[in-house]
Amino acid sequence: MRFIDKEEWDMELIYRFDTKETPELVKVGGKANSLILMTQHGLPVPTGFVLSVEFFKPWFDQIKETPEWQRVVNSSPNKLKMHTEELKKVCESLCGRRNCRLLARKHVPEYFQQHQALW
């Protein structure tokens, strides 16, 4: 697993719902974009944040390098479910809930120190 270096922090990895700027949809996804927009328009949205697509890039890159990923991509319809289950196990080993929290804290520790109640 590769952690993001300080030099790479020029891109946004975390967007708070109460950000003044609206991130592009491709950077945060539809649900997060909607929550940010609703907050900007004064609708009642709980305090929160979203991890950007870029935040997850190191994990996704690592997953795409596995043989399990290639089996899913090249799978016939009758073996897709089996290969997907194998890939799911790889993903869980890399990004189980506890592991993701720990890895996320390593990426941006100062943010999580300030917002532990959200995580």
pLDDT in tens, 69-82: 999 999 998 999 99
Res 4: pLDDT: 44
Whether residue 42 is predicted with pLDDT greater than 80 in this model: the reply is: yes
Q: Is the pLDDT of residue 39 over 70?
A: yes
The sign of the dihedral angle between the CA atoms of 100, 69, 3, 26 is: negative
Taking CB atoms within 8 Å and a gap of at least 24, the contacts of 105-113 are 106/3, 107/3, 107/4, 107/13, 107/55, 108/13, 108/14, 111/14, 111/49
Q: How confident is the model at residue 89 (pLDDT cuts 50, 70, 90)?
A: confident
Q: For residue 23, which amino acid is it?
A: P
Ramachandran region, residue 63 (left: φ > 0; alpha: ψ -120 to 50; beta: rest): alpha
Q: Which pTM does this prediction carry?
A: 0.60
Q: Is the pLDDT of residue 65 over 70?
A: yes
Residue type, 113: Q
Rg of the chain on CA atoms, in Å: 17
pLDDT at 62: 86
Q: Which tops the pLDDT comparison, 76 or 8?
A: 76
What's the mean pLDDT when you consider all of the chain? 78
Bigger pLDDT: 40 vs 107: 40
* Statement: residue 61 has pLDDT above 50: yes
Predicted confidence (pLDDT) at residue 25 exceeds the cutoff of 50: yes
CA distances for 15 relative to 4, 60, 83, 87, 97, angstroms: 17, 19, 34, 29, 20
Q: CA 64, 68, 69 angle in degrees (round to 5)?
A: 30
